[in-house]
């Protein structure tokens, strides 16, 4: 019998107590692993959805109105302060590469044949696609000539195609649809973008030239948003300062007046959204730490109990030649083997937890094996540290007293 | 082989009055002797045996075991002596729960160190159990063995390290007459092999099998 099999047999003999000793280690490790994965996955998903919505983080969003307008802006709920000329002036700023103009509305019925649908309608400038990094799955985007001519042409998002042209065989291309009462010809289809923050679809929209929108559909000369692309990524603070100075000047704001526009840094928004999920992580981490602390107490207490119960065994082993060091080693080996088994169980359970959570979150699982293994090693070391006092007590059990009947 | 000079042992249990279990013991035991230690309960027999077995140190005096000064030896050195030179047998056997007879006997091999032995521990254990007449009890647990069989397992265990000194504290104390005789026969065999056997007993018949008897009274020695 070698020391390790001997330790394994001792653990098996006291399997309930052994399990109670390290249950906290297993739970803490598994919980920690799962939570880390859940929060990493949701953080990544949030970033992805924000990125999906904006196309890129290297922009500054300029919206009319000074107050914090919540939710999606629309032509009916924003002040008419942001103009096409403002957009041109922003594009000319040194920190800005280009700017895209946007007029949007959500309350327009769209008709094709006898089908109606109410998607978001976006009037956009010719550089929209390029700036967002979006692609068409079919057709072509608005040409400068079409922009100038205020052409009645439309690009459909994937959901709109499904809603208005459900027959897979019949292509939407070249068909006529009505926005309100104005007829438009379909000239393209957007590649699917997926879900935005909160899970709503980013494919339920129709793009039309912003010039057409302004003069033939909405009859409004102001914009709902200007998307300004940074010349250098990460330069948003500088760019926002330039835009603020420019717009205050153009809008003749007195020194005391508040801004009549709102600037948004998308990466800051993303950071804010992910901060919510990280608060959950803090709570989870607390639970994991609590479980591990419980394990530490359980190991010290139950292993101490085991040492008391095994006095005769200790005395006998001393009589047949075990030194104090050998007894110390034996008990430390036992707790090391037990902690290692617990760490393995924790890793396995954690992996299972990650898979279940991923399925439940509908997100791909986030593995972090190096961190998980580091945590497992830490759990083993913690087990050893907690076992030190009981093991020392075992080693200093007086064999003579232990062996008296 | 064994030399005790003015050995005393005093137990100091916290708060209570110190107990002088042994007082000025002077004893010489030659290799191959069989010595019986007798005396009333509490006279210090077990205390003496524990010191002889290097499981305990004298409070004062000198103990030479095969030339080693035990009083001044470290825990590691004493443990090595127990592991390689000494075999213990106890009144209540002290077999470990839920391991087989074979594994009980193998156990001391764990502590014998790097000393290469040509025969594997398992084989030696099997041979020893065969020798004590338990060849058909190898896989039995203590709970499945009679008292006499358990004590014979303990004898085999004590022989695992091929010791020169066998110490037995009332080895027949928990056995009936027949089982006691079997164990005594084994101890006598061991002495004939040249091992030193020291045993504590209350039983006249057992004591008579020894060449020498040491009588203890209140920690003092009276050679009979
Ligand atoms: N660890 C100890 N702490 C305190 N006192 C002890 C200890 N061990 C033994 N004694 C005391 O020392 C004295 C001798 O004890 P010992 O066990 O050597 O007697 P014994 O002759 O073996 O008795 P018995 O025949 O009952 O086994 C007794 O009074 C006992 O109470
Ligand atoms: Mg005694």
CB-based contact B110 A13, cutoff 8 Å: no
Q: What is the mean pLDDT of residues B199-205?
A: 91
Q: Which residue in A232, A190, A224, A201 sits closest to A61, CA to CA?
A: A224
Q: Is A28 on the interface with B (CB under 8 A)?
A: no
Measured N-to-C along each axis, helices A324-361 and A369-395 cross at an angle, to the nearest 10 degrees, of 150
Residue A169's pLDDT is 57
pLDDT bin (cut points 50, 70, 90) of residue B203 is confident
Per-residue pLDDT reduced to its tens digit, A219-273: 888 999 999 999 998 888 999 999 999 999 999 988 888 889 999 888 887 777 7
Decide if pLDDT at A68 tops 80. no
CB-based contact A313 B88, cutoff 8 Å: no
Pocket test for ligand 1, best of B20, B44, B174, B215 (most atoms within 8 A of CB): B44
Q: Alpha-carbon distance B203 to B37, whole Å? A: 11
How would you label B119-146 residue by residue, b for 16+ Cβ within 10 Å and e otherwise? eebeebbbebbeebebeebbebbbeebe
Beta bridge partners of B106: none
The domain ranges of chain B are 30-57+75-223
CB atoms within 10 A of CB A151: 19
Q: Alpha-carbon distance B217 to B212, whole Å? A: 17
The superfamily CATH assigns to domain B30-57+75-223 is P-loop containing nucleotide triphosphate hydrolases (3.40.50.300)
Q: What is the mean pLDDT of residues B194-206?
A: 93
For an interface test with B, give the residue of A1, A319, A322, A324 to mutate (most B CBs within 10 A). A319
Comparing B154 with B119, the larger pLDDT belongs to B154
Contacts of A400 in chain B (CB under 8 A): 47, 50, 55-56
Per-residue pLDDT reduced to its tens digit, A178-199: 998 999 999 999 998 887 766 7
What secondary structure letter does DSSP report for A62?
E
Contacts of A10 in chain B (CB under 8 A): none
Residue B109's pLDDT is 92
Concatenating the DSSP letter of every residue in B189-218 gives: HHHHTT-EEEEE-S-HHHHHTSSEEEEEET
Q: Is B107 on the interface with A (CB under 8 A)?
A: yes
CB B195 within 8 Å of CB B158: no
Of ligand 1's listed atoms, the one at least distance from the Cα of B219 is 14
Mean pLDDT over the full length of chain A: 89
Contacts of A9 in chain B (CB under 8 A): 99
The pTM is what? Answer: 0.76
| Share above pLDDT 90 across residues of chain A, in percent, rounded to a whole number | 56
CB A48 within 8 Å of CB A252: no
């Amino acid at each position: 019998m070698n020391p390790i099999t001997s330790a394994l047999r001792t653990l098996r003999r006291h399997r309930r107590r052994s399990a109670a000793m390290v249950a906290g280690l297993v739970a803490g490790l598994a919980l920690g692993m799962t939570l880390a994965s859940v929060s990493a996955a949701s953080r990544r998903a949030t970033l992805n959805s924000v990125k999906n919505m904006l196309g890129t983080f290297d922009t500054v969003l300029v919206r009319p109105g000074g107050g914090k307008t919540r939710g999606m802006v629309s032509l009916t709920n924003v002040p008419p302060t942001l103009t096409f000329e403002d957009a041109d002036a922003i594009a000319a700023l040194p920190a800005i590469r280009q700017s895209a103009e946007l007029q949007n509305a959500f309350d327009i019925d769209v008709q094709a044949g006898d089908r109606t649908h109410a998607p978001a309608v976006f009037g956009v400038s010719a550089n929209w696609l390029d700036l967002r990094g979006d692609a068409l799955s079919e057709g072509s985007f608005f040409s400068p000539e079409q922009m100038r001519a205020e052409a009645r042409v439309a690009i459909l998002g994937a959901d709109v195609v499904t809603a208005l042209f459900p027959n897979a065989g019949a292509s939407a291309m070249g068909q006529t649809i009505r926005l309100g009462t104005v007829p438009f010809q379909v000239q393209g289809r957007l590649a699917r973008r997926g879900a935005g923050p909160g899970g709503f679809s980013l494919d339920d929209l129709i793009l039309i030239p912003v010039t057409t929108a302004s003069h033939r559909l909405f009859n409004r000369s102001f914009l709902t948003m200007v998307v300004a692309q940074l010349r250098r990524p990460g330069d948003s603070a500088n760019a926002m300062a330039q835009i603020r100075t420019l717009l205050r000047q153009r809008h003749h704001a007195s020194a005391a007046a508040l801004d009549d526009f709102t600037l948004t840094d998308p990466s800051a928004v993303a950071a804010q959204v992910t901060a919510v999920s990280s608060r959950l992580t803090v709570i989870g981490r607390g639970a994991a730490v609590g479980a591990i602390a419980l394990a530490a107490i359980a190991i010290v207490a139950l292993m101490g109990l085991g040492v008391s119960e095994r006095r005769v065994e200790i005395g006998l082993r001393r009589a047949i030649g075990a030194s104090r060091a050998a007894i110390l080693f034996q008990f430390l080996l036992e707790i090391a083997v037990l902690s290692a088994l617990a760490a393995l169980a924790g890793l396995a359970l954690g992996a299972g937890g990650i898979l279940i959570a991923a399925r439940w979150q509908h997100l791909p699982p986030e593995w972090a094996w190096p961190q998980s293994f580091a945590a497992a090693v830490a759990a083993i070391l913690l087990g050893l540290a907690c076992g030190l006092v009981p093991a020392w007590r075992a080693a200093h059990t007086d064999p003579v007293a232990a062996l008296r009947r | 082989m064994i030399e005790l000079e003015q050995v005393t042992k005093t137990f100091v249990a916290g708060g209570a009055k110190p107990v002088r279990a042994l007082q000025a013991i002077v004893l010489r035991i030659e290799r191959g002797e069989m010595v019986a230690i007798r005396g009333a309960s509490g006279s210090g027999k077990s205390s003496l045996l524990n010191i002889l077995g290097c499981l305990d140190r004298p409070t004062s005096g000198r103990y030479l075991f095969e030339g080693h000064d035990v009083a001044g030896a470290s825990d590691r050195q004493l443990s090595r002596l127990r592991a390689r030179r000494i075999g213990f047998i106890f009144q209540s056997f002290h077999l470990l729960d839920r391991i087989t007879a074979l594994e009980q006997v193998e156990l001391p091999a764990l502590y014998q160190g790097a000393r290469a032995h040509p025969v594997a521990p398992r084989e030696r254990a099997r041979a020893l159990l065969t020798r004590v007449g338990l060849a058909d009890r190898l896989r039995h647990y203590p709970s499945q063995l009679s008292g006499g069989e358990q004590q014979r397992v303990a004898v085999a265990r004590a022989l695992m390290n091929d010791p020169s000194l066998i110490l037995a504290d009332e080895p027949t104390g928990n056995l009936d007459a027949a089982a006691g005789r079997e164990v005594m026969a084994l101890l006598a065999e061991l002495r004939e092999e040249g091992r030193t056997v020291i045993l504590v007993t209350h039983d006249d018949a057992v004591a008579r099998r020894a060449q020498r008897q040491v009588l203890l009274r209140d920690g003092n020695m009276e050679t009979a």
